[in-house]
Amino acid sequence: MRLKSPTFHLRCRPVPSGPVKSALADSSPPARLLATRPCCGPGPDRRPVLGEAPRFHAQAKGKNVRLDGHSRRATRRNSFCNGVTFTQRPIRLYEQVRLRLVAVRPGWSGALRFGFTVHDPSLMSAHDIPRYACPDLVTRPGYWAKALPESLALRDTVLAYWADRHGRVFYSVNDGEPVLFHCGVAVGGPLWALIDVYGITDEVQLLGTLQSSPATTSPSGSLSGSQEDSDSDMAFSVNQSSSASESSLVTAPSSPLSPPVSPAFSPPEPAGSKNSECTVCFDGDVDTVIYTCGHMCLCHTCGLRLKRQARACCPICRRPIKDVIKIYRP
């Protein structure tokens, strides 16, 4: 007996007259979700993500620096130097670099040095990082750093510093009034923070950054308070805030500053006074007069280094250095 195969009838639905939509197209994700994502973080040609908290650079550091697992704490082991560090990303204008002094050890001379550089730490080799930020780095083009006064280098002190669009650097301690630190920083390109864990400062911690308002970046007494600050305001702020014991600027500022009223030679400081310490290295005794301004604020070694620099100027009045003269005390 032969069985009949069942017959199946297929009914076709009429195709609508209009553009046909593909079901596959409907189920595909939006194009923006298909964009390629980097797997290893930003490359050399990518800008850092806004809001990313800065960390210490893992490779560009002095030989005595040890970092924690998050690269937020830098501890100096052994000696008092070889503690130079940098941030892993550039710092934006008016962005505050905030540091906590975690450990301070009395017995050494000098304290934390800090500032900025235009040089990318990722391109530095071990030979590029010297023992000291001052004077080794600041006598090179593109580095600006100075020392925090020892009286402010206390345990758990929170230091914040930032640069404005005029190339001025301000700092504040424990959210106090901003103080003009130095000026003449090149702000036409990226700036990385430079931090030297030096002297009595044994350990520092990078905190989250804050964005400063341009209206609040002028020290007390300055007439400037907006982004349209004039050069005369800058000169006024420098005269109010700078001193021989705190200044160590070694390159000429980008904007002209008012020269001192009297270029008379400064008398030698009494032995043992605070101003008898070189304002660049904070180590040698002051024994050199700068010609032509007459300021006496350097040791002879730093004076000779400054004299060899292009556009070198006095750390106090910023006038050009024509010569340095060693003096001899009786």
Better-predicted residue by pLDDT, 33 or 328: 328
Range with the lowest mean pLDDT among 76-85, 102-111, 190-199, 306-315?
306-315
Q: What is the DSSP letter of 134?
A: I
Mean pLDDT value across residues 209-235: 48
Mean pLDDT value across residues 27-56: 46
Please determine, for residue 250, whether its predicted confidence score (pLDDT) is greater than 90: no
Better-predicted residue by pLDDT, 231 or 81: 81
Please determine, for residue 205, whether its predicted confidence score (pLDDT) is greater than 70: yes
Give pLDDT, residue 51.
60
Q: Is the pTM of this model over 0.75?
A: no
Please determine, for residue 249, whether its predicted confidence score (pLDDT) is greater than 90: no
Helices within 221-315 (DSSP H only): 231-241, 300-308
Long-range CB contacts (within 8 A, 24+) of 311-316: 311/251, 311/252, 312/250, 312/251, 312/252, 313/249, 313/250, 313/251, 313/252, 313/253, 314/290, 315/244, 315/247, 315/248, 315/249, 315/250, 315/279, 315/280, 316/242, 316/244, 316/247, 316/279
User: Can you read off the two tokens belonging to residue 294?
Assistant: 């007459």
Give pLDDT, residue 227.
39
Q: Report the alpha-carbon distance of residue 96 to residue 211 in Å, rounded.
A: 6
Query: Which single residue is written with the structure tokens 């980097």?
Result: 38
Give pLDDT, residue 124.
92
327 half-sphere exposure, CB direction, 13 A CA radius: 21
| Whole-number percent of the chain with pLDDT over 70 | 65
Q: Give the model's confidence band at 90: pLDDT under 50 very low, under 70 low, under 90 confident, else very high.
A: very high
Mean pLDDT value across residues 203-217: 77
Range with the lowest mean pLDDT among 125-139, 211-225, 244-258, 284-298?
244-258
Better-predicted residue by pLDDT, 8 or 255: 8
